[in-house]
Homo-oligomer: A and B are copies of this chain.
Amino acid sequence: MSTIRDVAKLAGVSVATVSRVINQKGYISKDTEKKIKACMAKLQYSPSSVARGLAGKKTDTIALLIPDITNPFFPEIARAVEDTASSYGITTLLGNCDENGVKELRYLDILKKRYVDGIIFAEHGLTWNEIHGILGSGMPIVSLDRAALSEEVSSVRVNHYQGAVLAVEHLLSIGCRRIAHISGPNHLITSANRNRGYTDTLRNAGCFDPDLVYEGDFSMECGMRVTEQLLKENEGVDGIFTSNDLMAVGALKTLIRSGVKVPEDVALIGFDGISMTQMVEPEISTIAQPIYEIGKQAVFQLIHQIEDRHELPEMTPRVLETKLIQRATTTRF
């Protein structure tokens, strides 16, 4: 492992000069630049990010904190974030918090010690105060909107309310009248918004029945369990809107097992747009979030906070729209 000093020595110049060519800063004659580059190549020199971090307080590293890596939604986000970040030369540190406040806190502590340049929070149970308590202020943060941070935090938002409206209107349009909803945890903003969209739409249509609303936890198991319960407790349900796709997968499973025909007896639509909805049979209709775009925008916003020097593509609106994707579970003939 050669250092900048080795390069300088070999090239017969000072470390400052070498540093300049590395960082493309200040004036350097073409000649010395060439010579130095040659020496760097010969020594296989590559600057130490650690030393750099210490000296410059900048590590070209961001962190992405997600609540559950086994929910495919988050790997898909992770992929987008990492892609985008790495196209700017930024490394992404991925932290899986397991829906666990303690782990979240632990991560925050680690990230601070590591001088990450910024953090993307995909979801968390922390208050803004707790975060500040650990991080202090000044750390760039972007929150993907499943989180419930304060308004001061920059975030990438999706119009969940509108998405839910789309879902329910779609179910209505194919003839459903008793439409059940398996919501996400009520304390999550996103989940609550989807719930509102559902409720409002059904109210307007004169079909709302509070008995048909069940609270879930976004897991597949829960989707199965609740659907079972739902079928037992209610007659004539002809449509189900689950607050995420994973629960839709679970619901579908229970429906099939119970001999319920999908979509003839019960139509089903999820939310998120993860690719797993296409892996089951029949394929599940869903309200797709622009997952890749969300990750991408999050990185853009974060970089924006970190520094203005990067020439970023124009900022697109912060509120992204969802899209109805109709598949077999809502296609009646």
Contacts and interface: CB of A to CB of B under 8 A. Distances in A.
Nearest to A278: B220
Interface in A182-219: none
Given A48-B115, A96-B82, A249 B279 contact: yes
Interface string A245-271: 000011011001100000000000000
Contact of A70 (B79, B93, B113): B79
Contacts of A276: 276, 279
Interface stretch (A11-19, A26-34, A50-58, A165-173): A50-58
Contact of A1 (B106, B136, B252): B136
A258 B229 CA distance: 32
A196 to B, nearest CB: 28
A interface, by DSSP: helix, strand, loop or mixed?
helix
A96 B79 contact: yes
Interface string A51-79: 10110000100000000011010011011
A319 interface: no
Nearest to A70: B75
Contacts of A256: 281
A46 B113 contact: yes
Interface string A113-136: 111000000000000000000001
A82 B78 CA distance: 16
A53 B249 CA distance: 45
B96 A49 contact: no
A109 interface: yes
Interface string A74-102: 01101100100010000101101000000
A250 to B, nearest CB: 7
A112 interface: yes
Select the residue from A46, A50, A70, A257 with max chain B CB neighbours within 10 A.
A50
A70 B82 CA distance: 13
Given A69-B78, A79-B69, A279-B276, A112 B50 contact: no
Given A69-B75, A96-B78, A51 B49 contact: no
Contacts of A109: 46
A249 B281 CA distance: 10
A150 interface: no
A280 interface: yes
Contacts of A78: 69, 94, 96
Interface in A258-314: 275-276, 279-281
A57 to B, nearest CB: 9
A143 B56 CA distance: 34
A150 to B, nearest CB: 22
Given A54-B51, A70-B76, A72-B70, A110 B96 contact: no
Given A50-B115, A70-B76, A78-B94, 9 more contacts: A48-B115, A49-B115, A50-B114, A69-B75, A70-B79, A78-B96, A252-B281, A253-B279, A253-B281
